[in-house]
Amino acid sequence: MTVAAETTADWLQTLVLALIQGLSEFLPISSSAHLVLPSQLLGWPDQGLLFDVAVHVGTLVAVMVYFRRDLWVLLGDIYHPLATDEGAGGELWRLAVATVPAVVAGVLLSDTIEQHLRGLGVIAATTIAFGLLLGWSSRRAQQVPAEAQQTVTWSGALIIGCAQMLALIPGVSRSGVTITAALFLGYSSATAARFSFLMSMPIIAGAMLFLGLDAMAEGFTRVPVAQMLAAMLVSALSAYATIALFIGLLGRIGMMPFVWYRLTLGLVLVLVIMFGS
């Protein structure tokens, strides 16, 4: 393969993977599973830490821009009393509480999960199992109006935050497991999705920070600036469009299309494992 062909292939992989990251980060289908699959099935090489940082920057920008009004209110009410369940100030601190379990689990377990839980078998199992849980929670929550405005309580935030720890395992889906937990707790799909998306900001920012530190520790001689900027832009635009579309259609389509998608994908992965093709 010529240098030009290699460069074209690198660009293609970068753009495709950035698009996958943007489309799947906020849908309940697991972005980590979808990013692992190309390397497992197509033999694509790891794009490296800089790529991971770039797409995380893109998705973080997307969710912050979409929820910019909510962020402004949250930050403006940061000094509200912590004991109340009303007001954005209380919500800001409940989001902080919901973030702690995943941070602790990430620090303690990320290496173990990276070494032992990134195979196709694990992804197939978690894709199916957590798809079924999402479907179950969605069925239970059907009596709650999708447009109902609810406030996530302190205990609810902690439970949803503990559920978020499971998202470290590829195939689980961070948004999927947090929405599932919120639906089981009796919140509407709109409330569950909003709280899940707000929870994503500190998690994505934290992941971006650690990836950036790892990238600096590894060192690099040449940074493909154009490719990284393109990856950031593609992930940001696709993530923003996905959030807007998901929230806009949630009241009409519910969660079941994503449940069926997960079950179909899980079945395909099982067949790939069985027949090795």
User: What secondary structure does DSSP assign to 186-232, as a single string?
Assistant: T--HHHHHHHHHHHHHHHHHHHHHHHHHHHHHH--S---HHHHHHHH
Let me know: does 21 contact 235? Beta carbons within 8 Å: yes
Cα dist from 68 to 25, 64, 134, 232, whole Å? 18, 6, 28, 19
Give me the pLDDT at residue 31, please: 83
Give me the pLDDT at residue 105, please: 92
Question: Rounded to 5 degrees, what angle do the CA atoms 27, 28, 30 make?
Answer: 90
Let me know: does 67 contact 197? Beta carbons within 8 Å: yes
CB contact set of 54 (below 8 Å; sequence gap of 6+): 18, 228, 229, 231, 232, 235
Give me the pLDDT at residue 87, please: 47
pLDDT tens digits, residue range 219-241? 665 667 888 899 999 999 999 99
pLDDT tens digits, residue range 125-173? 999 999 999 999 998 887 766 555 578 999 999 999 999 999 999 899 9
Q: Which residue has the higher pLDDT, 79 or 138?
A: 138
User: What pTM, to 2 d.p., does this model score?
Assistant: 0.88
